[in-house]
A = this chain, B = another copy of it.
Amino acid sequence: MSVQWTARAREIESFKVMDLLKRAQELSDAGRDIVHLGAGEPDFGAAPSVVEAAKRALDEVRLGYTPTGGIWPLREKIAQFHYQRYGQRIDPAQVLVTAGASAGLLLSITLLVEQGKHLLMADPGYPCNRQFLRAVEAGAFSIPVSSEQNFQLDRDLVRNNWSENTAGVLIASPANPTGAVLSADAIKGIAEETRQQGGALIVDEIYHGLTYDVNTTSAIGIDPNAVVINSFSKYFGMTGWRLGWMVSSVEAIAEMEKIAQNLFISAPTLSQYAALSAFEPEAIEVFEARKQELRERRDLLLEGLLELGFKVPRVPEGAFYIYADASELTSDSFAWCWRLLEDAGVVATPGADFGCNHAEQFVRFAYTTSKQNIALALERIGQFVKSES
């Protein structure tokens, strides 16, 4: 007999864009100039003052384990920031510092989704969500949503799709891959319906701070029992630092802290000390300037894509993605992305990475590169589209 991988291991899928990225690297190594519109991380990095804070911490702190919930001053600063941003007062005991939003997703699902049960979620959506669920022997119930629905769930969709196996709802706002933002009213409707059904509400707010001309509020102010997941990766530009946080009731946070003690011990210590300075005015000024830059990129990319024949019926209001309907250009966006890479040297992510709801007609473009690069990419995509027509 030989050892077999588990069913869960076999069913957890890799991102399709990974093979594209590997090929892009080969082309790049061979001297080709590649423009990346694939990456789900900002190109800015941490703010300079945060990097300096990390250097000081390297001198001053022995980087041992921290309390599982995070160093208390960081939990306090997050609570303060939450109040400044949303006008919602929360206790630092309602904050759990995590090793990125990834850990937050695993912890919330471990806490709330019983084996064999599922969460309702929108398709398209973040591909890992269903894999976290699969890892703990639970599942995802994907609800197809279109641009007419702003690519988001609403109260009716939640009600109509609820079944005896539904443990709750996972929403994301702004969402990946669509950049779609839920209004406070929409969140309220979903939260009420979920509570009425006796389910749990998990809200991914990792792109908060990156919204353009639209106000956002944290779901915890709407439903005090929601489990909210946030991150230092996007607005704060600290992807590789692996740091995030959760906000929920004191009881839920304490229970997840107990789980995190076992599964993670604690989040990276240096990242926690550095993040203390991420809320200072000096750093926030940097982040706000970047947000302005991102908005300009979005406008440039959106205009260019529309001119080339992509359909984007609603302007994406947040994050740094455009989920473009390429059905005028291809009926197989996966193959199209491969040809785009090989022929035009541009990386974009095929819709198949985000679900199976008409995925073959969508492509996600990330504006996580300079306007110059975006302009170059648009030129190349334009030539490529022409060559194919």
Q: Which of B43, B62, B128, B198 contacts A263 (CB 8 A)?
A: B128
Which residues of chain B come closer than 8 Å to A225, judged between CB atoms? 3
**Is A238 on the interface with B (CB-CB < 8 A)?**
yes
Q: Are A268 and B255 in contact (CB under 8 A)?
A: no
Per the bound structure, the CA–CA distance linking A62 and B46 in Å amounts to: 8
Q: Which residue of B lies closest to A116 (CB)?
A: B137
Q: Which of B115, B255, B269 contacts A240 (CB 8 A)?
A: B269
Q: Which of B43, B102, B268 contacts A242 (CB 8 A)?
A: B268
Which residues of chain B come closer than 8 Å to A15, judged between CB atoms? 261
Question: In the complex, how many angstroms separate the beta carbon of A320 from the nearest chain B beta carbon?
Answer: 14
Q: Which of B114, B131, B267 contacts A7 (CB 8 A)?
A: B114
Q: Are A112 and B3 in contact (CB under 8 A)?
A: yes
Q: Which residue of B lies closest to A21 (CB)?
A: B67
Q: Are A264 and B102 in contact (CB under 8 A)?
A: yes
Which residues of chain B come closer than 8 Å to A100, judged between CB atoms? 264-265
**Is A2 on the interface with B (CB-CB < 8 A)?**
yes
Q: Which of B6, B62, B242, B271 contacts A45 (CB 8 A)?
A: B62
Q: Are A1 and B197 in contact (CB under 8 A)?
A: yes
Q: Mark A239-282, 1 if CB is under 8 A from B, else 0.
A: 11110000000000001001101111111111100000000000
Q: Which residue of B lies closest to A1 (CB)?
A: B198
Question: In the complex, how many angstroms separate the beta carbon of A197 from the nearest chain B beta carbon?
Answer: 7
**Is A356 on the interface with B (CB-CB < 8 A)?**
no
Q: Are B51 and A64 in contact (CB under 8 A)?
A: no
Which residues of chain B come closer than 8 Å to A197, judged between CB atoms? 1
Per the bound structure, the CA–CA distance linking A255 and B102 in Å amounts to: 19
Which residues of chain B come closer than 8 Å to A43, judged between CB atoms? 62
Q: Are B259 and A111 in contact (CB under 8 A)?
A: no
Q: Mark A36-59, 1 if CB is under 8 A from B, else 0.
A: 000001010110000100110011
Per the bound structure, the CA–CA distance linking A114 and B216 in Å amounts to: 42
Q: Which of B54, B132, B168 contacts A3 (CB 8 A)?
A: B168
Question: In the complex, how many angstroms separate the beta carbon of A2 from the nearest chain B beta carbon?
Answer: 7
Which residues of chain B come closer than 8 Å to A262, judged between CB atoms? 12-13, 127-128, 131-132, 135
**Is A8 on the interface with B (CB-CB < 8 A)?**
yes
Of residues 185 through 204 on chain A, the ones whose CB sits less than 8 Å from some CB of chain B are 197-200
Q: Mark A131-142, 1 if CB is under 8 A from B, else 0.
A: 110011100000
Which residues of chain B come closer than 8 Å to A199, judged between CB atoms? 3
Q: Are A240 and B263 in contact (CB under 8 A)?
A: no
**Is A113 on the interface with B (CB-CB < 8 A)?**
yes
Q: Are A112 and B1 in contact (CB under 8 A)?
A: no
Per the bound structure, the CA–CA distance linking A51 and B270 in Å amounts to: 11
Q: A255-B9, A265-B102 are in contact. Are A239 and B63 (CB under 8 A)?
A: yes
State the A residues within 8 Å of B (CB). Answer: 1-3, 5-9, 12-15, 18, 41, 43, 45-46, 51, 54-55, 58-59, 62-66, 99-100, 102, 106, 110-115, 127-128, 131-132, 135-137, 168, 197-200, 225, 238-242, 255, 258-259, 261-271
The 10 closest A-B pairs by CB, nearest first: A1-B198, A240-B269, A63-B240, A131-B262, A45-B62, A137-B137, A128-B262, A14-B258, A3-B200, A268-B268
Question: 9 extra interchain contacts, Cβ-Cβ under 8 A, other than A14-B261, A127-B262, A239-B265?
Answer: A5-B111, A9-B259, A54-B270, A58-B58, A102-B263, A102-B264, A128-B263, A135-B262, A136-B136
25 residue pairs of the A-B complex, CB under 8 angstroms, read A3-B200, A3-B225, A5-B111, A9-B112, A12-B259, A13-B262, A18-B261, A41-B65, A45-B62, A45-B64, A63-B239, A64-B239, A99-B99, A102-B263, A115-B137, A131-B263, A135-B259, A240-B269, A241-B268, A242-B265, A242-B267, A242-B268, A268-B271, A270-B270, A270-B271
